[in-house]
Structure 1
């Protein structure tokens, strides 16, 4: 049974027009990341418009650090969340005064010193040792560092694709150590605590479960603030809002989530707090696609394989998450050879790359209407954690092109 074809979005129509018009100077097969800047602007503006009062949105650069995308996003969000000093520098490259958050479980002395000199808005402190180091380094610079305490909560949390809290991980202070952190802060002349950082889950698809997590965060912060006499101006709830790769037509219900979050903040929040989101995947996944031309179609042991120009060294997300990444086949008429064109009709097909490993698979045994050598496989929602997490230099294959499309792109 072939899946029903969904109506094409304006973004996908633009990408298909580009593929139809693409012709490399040296006739090499197409392999590219396509980023639709018009779609990115539309989505980010919609996300920002739904935020309740008292909330801010920072972009988690780790999802995609393409310079063109950073400039587009930076014009609409409240700031940039970074996880290395290299990302801090890239954020400052967007504009000198853009607010920057700096987190991550392993910061060097040099990174902390440069971040303090660059006046990042908040350092997310991950341990008692790091808190002592921030005080020591800030004192040596004659500066005052603003920090949020990242806490790994105790107890059960909502299920999601990845869990950073509620279980043993390398992230944050164990909740039982907050009292010790408060004691250190009372003796710190060069550290100003502004609140807490709570990023516990990743790729949450259930808006109601995420709303319950927000309510849990609010209750916990109130408890800690009272118990340890800690000032709270910022509650960073992290990112964690996901993309439904299994069903792109059933996205996270952002509008409903924001509407209910606004009510929750009115009933149980604190007007002195700023609630900060730091989303990455949710902001950029939908604006990008990975386009890879089919080099070969063959049958092996009863299964059909389509070999594409590219693979997991360009787009590691499907292998990393062990899922079939959603794709469409873009048919192409060109056929430069004097012999017949190989393909498969109404078969389940495995899309594999060029690497010398059976793990180089982007989607396994997915039914397709037709696929032929020379067609292009367009992997949808590939704008986040694609190129950024891939092993680019393995086997020294060429890199894909990075192509940004505008609304009137041809």
Structure 2
């Protein structure tokens, strides 16, 4: 893969005077990764892709034949998936669904709506009745427990705007059972308690907790649970910390008595970052190297308006240098050797940093920095039009490239 991208970078510089600035998505790499994920999943489980991690239409198309469906969190995401397929199952989440979004979800035949509040549930019942549209719902539950794994981003086990507090389950069930509700059907529960967990064992324990809780609620409220959606949150490491071990996780699930006892109940997972992060690259050419107060800075064509993840998460994003030969000027080409360099972008703000104090053997203006692990939450969370710089190009690697 590295050679393919490097060849493409050199071809860019041969045909254009424009500095390299692009996202490269390895579609075949994503497909192969998902195939390996599916191989180790127990038969009771199903895999969805949470497109918030990267809603690129080409990625959705590449995953369409492989995943069970897609998780969306807005009307825009929902319509994007429906552009690709009118029939693929969609699960629709998000804490602030407006009436028009709920109406569209009914019209576009989403498979499940994740209910985030009692008010939202009342609105779904009202709208479904008005339109005579049947819909299945999963109650998203924020558990009252302190035993969940701790990560940088947590949405459950603490006060949170996400989901129904566990104490409101009985009231939600009562709403669904009210006389006159013939259209909104309880299908099960949804949990999404954290993001970017790197520990497979703790994730498996968390899923076990979900299954135990659901078993209690089934008995207490005499429920027919068709689906338990355990969400995503599978982590990707952006430093030397070991990443999430999917095979270890699915192996633990396969050994679980609670999973084996699911019967006809299906256990959903909806990862986003874990599916695409390692198969996206952000390539940005070095346009200047300067020294200030005894510190070296490399300025790239691009920055946090294209890849906001390192600034958002406060980490140094991993990258490597792709040496190039292009230098069209008569004066000397700036370069540094065996130096500590901070990588910054072209924006007029000191927060436009992608990596601080990188130890580099060599770097020249005109070389290209290839930021790895840039397939998730990089382009789409960025403030693209700040200062009006041109957007990056997008390049896709497919089978046979």
Q: 1:13 & 1:168 partners in 2: Cα distance?
A: 48
CA contact (8 A) 1:128 1:181 kept: yes
Q: In structure 2, what is the equivalent of residue 254 of structure 1?
A: 246
CA contact (8 A) 1:52 1:258 kept: yes
Q: In structure 2, what is the equivalent of residue 379 of structure 1?
A: 371
Question: Aligned residues, how many?
Answer: 398
Deviation (angstroms), 1:23: 2.8
Deviation (angstroms), 1:26: 4.7
Q: 2:195 & 2:109 partners in 1: Cα distance?
A: 28
Instruction: Specify which of 393, 397, 401 is matched with residue 405 of structure 1.
Output: 397
1:45-56 correspondence to structure 2 within 5 Å:
45-56=35-46
**1:107 and 2:97 equivalent?**
yes
1:58-97 correspondence to structure 2 within 5 Å:
58-97=48-87
Q: In structure 1, what is the equivalent of residue 156 of structure 2?
A: 165
Deviation (angstroms), 1:408: 3.9
Q: In structure 1, what is the equivalent of residue 111 of structure 2?
A: 121
Look up the SS of the partner of 1:22 in the other structure: helix
Q: In structure 1, what is the equivalent of residue 174 of structure 2?
A: 183
**1:218 and 2:211 equivalent?**
yes
CA contact (8 A) 1:295 1:307 kept: yes
Residues 348 and 239 of structure 1: is their aligned pair in 2 closer, same or farther, counting only changes over 3 Å? same
Deviation (angstroms), 1:24: 6.9
Instruction: Specify which of 361, 365, 371 is matched with residue 369 of structure 1.
Output: 361
Q: In structure 2, what is the equivalent of residue 394 of structure 1?
A: 386
Deviation (angstroms), 1:225: 1.6
**1:150 and 2:153 equivalent?**
no
1:307-318 correspondence to structure 2 within 5 Å:
307-318=299-310
Q: 1:185-225 CA deviation, whole Å, 9 max, x = no partner?
A: 11033210100000001101000110110111111111112
Q: In structure 2, what is the equivalent of residue 295 of structure 1?
A: 287
CA contact (8 A) 1:57 1:277 kept: yes
Q: In structure 1, what is the equivalent of residue 131 of structure 2?
A: 141
CA contact (8 A) 2:212 2:258 kept: no
Look up the SS of the partner of 2:230 in the other structure: strand
Unaligned runs of 5+ in 1: 1-10
CA contact (8 A) 2:254 2:260 kept: no
CA contact (8 A) 1:218 1:269 kept: no
1:199-218 correspondence to structure 2 within 5 Å:
199-218=192-211
Residues 179 and 24 of structure 1: is their aligned pair in 2 closer, same or farther, counting only changes over 3 Å? farther
Look up the SS of the partner of 2:237 in the other structure: coil
Q: 1:220 & 1:47 partners in 2: Cα distance?
A: 26
Q: 2:386 & 2:378 partners in 1: Cα distance?
A: 15
Q: In structure 1, what is the equivalent of residue 316 of structure 2?
A: 324
CA contact (8 A) 1:218 1:268 kept: no
Q: 1:33 & 1:26 partners in 2: Cα distance?
A: 17
Question: Which stretch has the larger CA shift, 78-87 or 11-20?
Answer: 11-20
Q: 1:19-42 CA deviation, whole Å, 9 max, x = no partner?
A: 122237551100000111221121
Q: 1:256-315 CA deviation, whole Å, 9 max, x = no partner?
A: 111110111566642121000001100011111000000001111111110000000000
Q: 1:358-388 CA deviation, whole Å, 9 max, x = no partner?
A: 0000111111111110000000010011111
Residues 64 and 267 of structure 1: is their aligned pair in 2 closer, same or farther, counting only changes over 3 Å? closer
Q: 1:241 & 1:302 partners in 2: Cα distance?
A: 40
Q: In structure 2, what is the equivalent of residue 193 of structure 1?
A: 186
Q: 1:115 & 1:38 partners in 2: Cα distance?
A: 31
Unaligned runs of 5+ in 2: none
Look up the SS of the partner of 1:212 in the other structure: helix
CA contact (8 A) 2:48 2:70 kept: yes
Q: 1:267 & 1:286 partners in 2: Cα distance?
A: 29
Residues 407 and 390 of structure 1: is their aligned pair in 2 closer, same or farther, counting only changes over 3 Å? same
TM-score normalised per structure 1: 0.95
Q: In structure 2, what is the equivalent of residue 336 of structure 1?
A: 328
CA contact (8 A) 1:14 1:407 kept: no
Q: 2:284 & 2:174 partners in 1: Cα distance?
A: 56
Q: 2:324 & 2:384 partners in 1: Cα distance?
A: 27
Instruction: Specify which of 245, 253, 261 is matched with residue 238 of structure 2.
Output: 245
RMSD (Å), alpha carbons? 1.3
